[in-house]
Amino acid sequence: MKKSIIILIGLLYLGVCRGQSEYVILSKQSTLDELILTYKVLPKNAKKAELSDEEFRLVGKKTQEYIEIYNTQVNEGFKKRGEKKKYAKMYRIMKLTNYKIQYVPYLNQKGEKEIWINGFCDDFNSDWRKEIISVFDGGNCYFTIKLNLSSGECLSIGTNGYA
């Protein structure tokens, strides 16, 4: 009995504490329109799209690859400028389990599937599963990534700045 409880607690720890971050896939055209007209982060003619399970796995893999590249570039940039390493940490994207993530798939003007990824630590008690979370500043508590799933290319990646 004790052994079963210990195993159950261990599995819960792995599933909750070390698992994937909370996420939502937002695929309504009204969400795209908000990202186009209000935030101006998507192409004007973006059309809604869905993600297959295979595409979602690809997004996870590519996201992790590009975060590692981005974080390395941040470290090298700070080192090259002779700035302290501790400041670079403020601009690196943290482990994804530290974020809630919004995935917004869409088709670009060529009909290629792309995805806008929005990660954040604080949702300000918003209904983040339905509303885009957007803030100024906040450093690495907020990041965005744009990927082209057809080519595998990272179109943009970065964290917010600091006031």
Q: For the purposes of burial, counting CB atoms within 10 Å of the CB of 156, is it exposed (0-12), middle (13-18) or buried (19 or more)?
A: exposed
| Residue from 117, 3, 109, 100 nearest 60 by CA | 117
Q: Give the per-residue pLDDT at 76.
A: 92
Q: Give the per-residue pLDDT at 10.
A: 41
Look up the pTM and report it.
0.85
Query: For 151-163, what is each residue's pLDDT tens digit?
Result: 999 999 999 988 7
Provide the percentage of residues in the chain whose pLDDT is more than 70.
Answer: 88
Query: For 12-61, what is each residue's pLDDT tens digit?
Result: 343 444 455 799 999 999 999 999 999 999 999 999 999 999 999 999 99
